[in-house]
Structure 1
């Protein structure tokens, strides 16, 4: 196919992010930033720059998008350049694969979930590319595909490359993995974690793409005229400090709701709440209420297993020991935890000799049943919204997983009055248990609440607290 570009046009990387991306020696690299920075071209050339270098058929790559129709744009851009740069190259329209005269191959593929990995299990791609990484709700497929980034050929480069803008359903997952945003790592910082390959992110700006700005002078004004403030900040500024489409989008203001830690006065009421998890994270939060009716979430214990929505698989006795260690000096400071509220499901003994609640009790931590009756999820959500909108809920900046997960939670597509319970909502559940502590249990629920259960710690003020 003949290119429509003038004969004198030859692709060269733009100074700045494109050059950094193409020369990056780190195994995993993300090129993120504003719209119009030339990220797709850079992703294609990341693979193409190693063609004709003597690797031949051993240099194989797979470039992924979330769905098959989304591949059309990146295929069109590849045709724009590859036919000009590589004489004799061929593109198979039915199989969506480029083949170089020297044997190299680049496949265009798609996958939406972690289960789709099995379509590629056993494959060998020393180069992996992912276009618009924030289109994936979770990074399960992306991370699973890393196992295919290998080669039996010695001295073969191996790399995972991805691009994206802020915004999209996977905004929070990408932000967390690459430590983006104000409190994250600066661009170019190599992130090294145990048992993982190093990774880095490179920031791209529209101003770098002088060709686009010269050839399409209306592009910048188009971005500036976007009415949605979150989308404008994401696409024009490349800002990761947004939570577009999140359940709390209209009320969450991190500059107002996140506060620096300070000593909690002993005169304030204090308590804690638990959402239990084993394969999924458990979440324990300590609450405080000041004399003006402002709630503070001031301490966090979160069973984070190293990736989104994955737990540490600790048993209840081990978690109880952690809690006791954290609270070791609290009595000396004057803190009196009369309440320990937890999901009522931990008191069930179905199929077991002891309930999770009983294990906690034997380990020195007593829990009471949190209110979790009909519409409790919706009512709890409204209470969180009310407190945030009235500036009556503050979170210590040390509660990292609360800040990571709750502002980004999407609404349930079946029930827009609640968050998506398939998302990482464990901090959310513990929060609503803790904040609904003053709600009196309806009589019809009290009658069926098994208040005579041996694991149930009855107190007169269990469901109605005067403050």
Structure 2
């Protein structure tokens, strides 16, 4: 019998990845240079050889990425004695009948490719480049008649369009390198249970997840062969260096609102005083979620997002009902809303805005300037050095704060990324509906007045026009607000 030599010697972190068994979902990585792709291709080959007739798939976001990182590498290192590559199908067939597909997923139309598919292992390379709905859909393709261990095994760096959901699913669930049993939830956060007629009827649906971190310093072979790699990572801009060298999940390259900080912007709930001005901001949607944010403004000009409602598949009548229910007896200066609330229905000559008005929730149209709107929101988020006149201590103050109960806002704002083609704009993102609503509110108000501005005009502090009417509003000029 001929002996087949596998030209792969895993590093210690890679060993942890390969040895993880009986785990439903695994994420490996965090920083650049940790040997993530190498781990994927050898883990796939090992599984395929061990489980005869098994089927796996490895995803990248685009075909060029797939070609460079997976196809070319497997062609270089997979032993031809045990594996044969079909170039037209982009798949490897092993001598025992096992198959490893190499694929890419770059848009929603890819759902059609996998409607009847079955896989024993699904592997995602650079998971944060994918949307959560694609990932969760493929969980339904993890099935088969053979009693093989089935799992989803992914690798990634921080950053990208999927940063928020990957962080929520793997990073924030608890201590790293430990297996966590997680109760699956629906879109509204309700725990899922097995339905009647199934073997585990009435029991919670649980999945095991683990995150195994990896850094370039864990890759001993790379450190020896390319000692200058760390120096090149060190020379990157701050956010990119934190992401790629340290595997930092709180900041990442391309992050639009890099100034967002939980320590500064998130506060514990408190009773809003009755004399504070209150507002509502809404983003329209059906398949995309309908969003309503409740914002309060204190006498000194600090805004608080104190309540949120985010839900899909609601008719306009249901949307206004939920707004009224969550608003109670509160009174509002106005409710600013996406201009799509004024689009007329095809079947009836009525707009969502008219339906809201008929239920005593009148709306005013938002100013939809995207770039100016994001700049305005950034002004409200921007930390300012402030002097405490009682203690003499300096501290960071922000003019927009969010109650800790507003989980969607806290998740979505730091998840926004720059648009590749128009860097001053925010790229389309599955979570951008809450920031959109907040942008509408910011565009309906003057820019946040900083502490430095207060000190510059101490004798006019009471006249800062936070409460002027919409008709009086003027855009700021270099010399200050037009009304001063």
Secondary structure, in 3 states, of the residue corresponding to 2:278? strand
Query: Please, which of 233, 247, 255 is the counterpart of residue 242 of structure 2?
Result: 233
| CA pair 205-269 structure 1, distance change in 2 beyond 3 A | same
Deviations 1:304-332 (A, max 9, x none): xxxxxxx2x1223333333333333xx5x
Query: Please, which of 362, 381, 389 is the counterpart of residue 367 of structure 1?
Result: 362
Shift of 1:270: 1.7
Structure 2 residue 316 is the aligned partner of structure 1 residue 316:
yes
Query: Any unmatched runs of 5+ in structure 2?
Result: 186-191, 193-204, 385-397, 447-467, 474-482
State the distance in 1 between where 2:102 and 2:287 align. 34
Query: Please, which of 378, 383, 401 is the counterpart of residue 376 of structure 2?
Result: 383
Shift of 1:97: 2.9
The corresponding residue for 2:144 is 151
- 1:98 touches 1:105 (CA, 8 Å); kept in 2? yes
Structure 2 residue 402 is the aligned partner of structure 1 residue 405:
no
The corresponding residue for 2:152 is 160
The corresponding residue for 2:120 is 126
The corresponding residue for 2:69 is 73
Structure 2 residue 220 is the aligned partner of structure 1 residue 210:
yes
Secondary structure, in 3 states, of the residue corresponding to 1:190? strand
The corresponding residue for 2:40 is 43
- 2:32 touches 2:244 (CA, 8 Å); kept in 1? yes
State the distance in 2 between where 1:432 and 1:248 align. 13
Structure 2 residue 183 is the aligned partner of structure 1 residue 192:
yes
Shift of 1:94: 5.4
Structure 2 residue 420 is the aligned partner of structure 1 residue 428:
no
RMSD: 3.4
Secondary structure, in 3 states, of the residue corresponding to 2:211? strand
Structure 2 residue 285 is the aligned partner of structure 1 residue 277:
yes
Structure 2 residue 444 is the aligned partner of structure 1 residue 437:
yes
The corresponding residue for 1:105 is 99
State the distance in 1 between where 2:7 and 2:422 align. 52
Q: TM-score w.r.t. structure 2 length?
A: 0.75
Secondary structure, in 3 states, of the residue corresponding to 1:198? strand
| CA pair 204-343 structure 1, distance change in 2 beyond 3 A | closer
| CA pair 18-320 structure 1, distance change in 2 beyond 3 A | farther
Query: Please, which of 36, 52, 56 is the counterpart of residue 56 of structure 1?
Result: 52
Shift of 1:257: 2.4
Shift of 1:246: 3.2
Shift of 1:281: 0.8
| CA pair 377-41 structure 1, distance change in 2 beyond 3 A | closer
